[in-house]
Structure 1
Amino acid sequence: MHGLGNDYVYIDGLSQPTPQHDWGSLAPIISDRHRGVGSDGLILIVPPDEPGAADARMIMFNADGSRGEMCGNGIRCVAKFVARSGRGRPAPDHAIRVRIQSDCGVSDVDVWDADAAVARARVDMGRPILNPSDIPVRVFGDRCVAHPLRVASADFRMTCVSMGNPHAVFFVDDLTAIDLPRLGPLIEHDPVFPRRVNVHVATARGADKVVMRSWERGAGLTQACGSGACAVVVAGVLERRTGRSVRVHLPGGELSIDWPADDATVQMTGPAEEVFHGVWPRP
């Protein structure tokens, strides 16, 4: 399944037992686009840690085998799968609401057209985390907003946000002038980020539209990053570049992001699409 081209291999651990396995070692093998299935990572869909606490749990591994806390595009696809399986309950506007547990906690997701090839889902992504030590990023102060960062002899300004996973957002005038394949890994591994970071470059085109590109921690360039789109809108508000309801354009398509108030949760709406299902023959 994929959300705006941000594709993962999903393992169904709800209708069948999930075998004991080193999933972190399997993720790079199955994600290899030449010798495996090909994906940005691997996501297990399993029962929640505590019965009744959620409808399912997602466990995410990046393409390099590292563990990820949250994937905005991934959780929409998990929610589609879970809603289609008959779990969930009616929600407003003829949606099905499911509760998905991740390493960030439990998120409510409303799903429309779960049985269709392409579903639509709205995720409550929670409140953004802005305290630098909680993101984490090694800067002084109670927020990291338009903070200077020097990379490869060039000076940038970044705003850092955690949506359960760390993001560094760089607003620029010209996206095409940024060599993200070169700068992305340098920023991801910069010592200022003790747990590495997801890197996003963005341009605001009015109060309600942003264009962005992403270098994801552990995956590299991707077609879309859902949690990153949320972080970009939060950063846009903090830097007074955008409003609070924004259409975010990524290489893979468009997401709608809403952050109604500073103390509110971020809402993300976008598609979830199944491509195929099959059996992986290797242990």
Structure 2
Amino acid sequence: MTGMTHHFLKMNGLGNDFVVLDLRREPLALTDALARAIANRETGIGCDQLITIEEPRNGGDAFMGIRNQDGGTVEACGNAARCIGKLILEETGKDAVIIETLGGNTVATRADAENIAVDMGEPRLKWNEIPLSEEFQDTRGIELEVGPLGNPIMHSPGVVNVGNPHAVFFVDDVDAIELDRIGPMLEHHPLFPERANISVAEVISPTHLKIRTWERGVGLTKACGTAACASTVAAIRRRKTERRITVSLPGGDLTVEWREADNHIYMTGAAALDYEGEIDPAKLLAGAA
């Protein structure tokens, strides 16, 4: 591996940033340690997620692999789907492309000159699909509290799987919640056997939701596309918003629609290429040692 370099792209969706490696053109034995070294913001390139573009496995246009900062493989990432969708749309010249992930297929299209729309598929709402370690008949609000007994800071999150597990707490003010302190505890709560992404959501109006997210394996993030989708579904199930809304995240806004016609979630937002370069995996691993 010494002396071998690999081309990378640095991309972002609303500040949720990615290092993208195209393994179709440059194969690479990607280990957890190497993923962590690339994602390290001090000694590596730095990113929320490391994304790989691979040959399709089930008839799509490309397979998207996703690894978090901790090196762990995850099933879905909405912001990355828009970024990879943008690349594959440009590469193929098609009007719509299928991006395969471990969490299912995502269809990407051009919404306009700046924005990419992705069909995130149907949400999974049953307790064993999320999954939870205990059975709950109603996942619109499960029994989980944070704070003093009888006077919790937040409680009764809606739980949704949109390719990965999410818990969404509705609060009066998302900025008043110490998510950097509470998030790690909830991510690893025994109720979530595969851990969970934790969001706090504030209803601004029936067409506007504001959220902040502690992302599983990453931490606080400027934007999490799947959290925007999960929060929209959770809000609609609790009759707090309409079916097509604006979701404001620290990094910017997304448009999310949970369509009644086909039960699919559609997310629209920006996808940007920041820069590109070369990495030397051996040097990165040595620097992270």
Would you call these one fold, judging by a TM-score over 0.5?
yes
The one-character-per-residue Cα deviations of 1:214-265 (angstroms, maximum 9, x if unpaired) are 0000000000000110000100011111110010000000000001228510
Matches within 5 A, 1:56-67: 56-67=62-73
**Cα pair distance change 1:31/1:21, threshold 3 Å:** closer
Q: Which residue of 2 aligns with 1:219?
A: 218
Distance across 1 between alignment mates of 2:140 and 2:261: 14
The 4+ residue runs of structure 1 with deviation greater than 6 A are none
Q: Is the 8 A contact 1:70 1:104 kept in 2?
A: yes
Q: What is the Cα deviation at residue 107 of structure 1?
A: 1.6
Contact 2:89 2:109 in 1 (8 A): no
Question: 5+ residue gaps in structure 2?
Answer: 1-10, 283-289
Q: Say if 2:108 is the partner of 1:109.
A: yes
Q: 3-state SS of the aligned residue for 1:215?
A: strand
1:221-236 to 2 correspondences below 5 Å: 221-236=220-235
Letter in 2 for 1:7: D
Matched residue, 2:19:
9
Equivalent residue for 1:32?
Answer: 40
Equivalent-residue separation in structure 2 for 1:141 and 1:32 (angstroms): 38
C-alpha distance in 2 between matches for 1:147 and 1:233: 17
CA distance in 2, matches of 1:113, 1:127: 24
- Counterpart residue number, 1:128: 123
Q: Which digits, 9 at most, give the CA deviation of each residue in 1:158-178, with x for residues without a partner?
A: 000000100000000111221
Q: Any conservation in 1 of the 2:105–2:121 contact (CA below 8 Å)?
A: no
Quick one: which of 55, 60, 65 aligns to 1:54? Answer: 60
1:204 partner amino acid: V
Counterpart contact for 1:167–1:200, Cα < 8 Å: yes
CA distance in 2, matches of 1:229, 1:105: 18
Counterpart CA distance in 1 for 2:43 and 2:256 is 36
Contact 1:126-1:265 at 8 Å conserved across structures? yes
Pairing 1:18–2:35 present = no
Q: Is the contact between residue 255 and residue 269 of structure 1 (CA under 8 Å) also seen in structure 2?
A: yes
Measure, in 2, the Cα distance between the counterparts of 1:60 and 1:102: 8
* Residue 277 of structure 1 pairs with residue 276 of structure 2: yes
Contact 1:55 1:88 in 2 (8 A): no
Structure 2 CA distance for aligned equivalents of residues 236 and 69 of structure 1: 23
Equivalent positions of 1:148-187 (< 5 A) are 148-153=143-148, 154=152, 156-187=155-186
What is the Cα deviation at residue 20 of structure 1? 2.5
Q: 1:262 to 1:227 in 2, by over 3 A?
A: farther
CA-based RMSD: 1.6
Do 1:128 and 1:161's aligned partners in 2 also have CA atoms closer than 8 Å?
A: yes
Question: Is the Cα contact below 8 Å between 1:152 and 1:183 reproduced in 2?
Answer: no
Are residues 46 and 267 of structure 1, via their aligned partners in 2, closer, same or farther at CA, if it must alter by over 3 Å? Answer: same
Q: Which residue of structure 2 lines up, in the alignment, with residue 93 of structure 1? A: none
Q: Specify which structure has the bigger relative contact order, considering alpha-carbon pairs within 8 angstroms and separated by 6 or more residues.
A: 2
Shift of 1:152: 4.9
Cα deviation, 1:66-94, whole Å, max 9, x if unaligned, reads 11100000010011111222x152xxxxx
Give 1:148 deviation, angstroms: 2.6
8 Å CA contact 1:130–1:142 kept in 2: the answer is no
User: Residues 31 and 25 of structure 1: is their aligned pair in 2 closer, same or farther, counting only changes over 3 Å?
Assistant: same
* 1:77 to 2:83 alignment: yes
Query: What CA distance in whole angstroms lies between the structure 2 residues aligned with 1:70 and 1:210?
Result: 22
Instruction: Report the Cα distance in structure 1 between the residues aligned to 2:210 and 2:261, rounded to whole angstroms.
Output: 22
CA separation in 2, counterparts of 1:25 and 1:213? 28
Write out per-residue CA displacement over residues 193-223 of structure 1, whole angstroms, 9 at most, x where no aligned residue.
0000000001011110000000000000000
SS for the counterpart of 1:35 is coil
Q: CA deviation at 1:151?
A: 3.1
Structure 1 unaligned spans of 5+: 90-95
Hey, what does 2:7 align to over in structure 1? none
Give the Cα–Cα distance (whole angstroms) in 1 for the partners of residues 93 and 167 of structure 2: 34
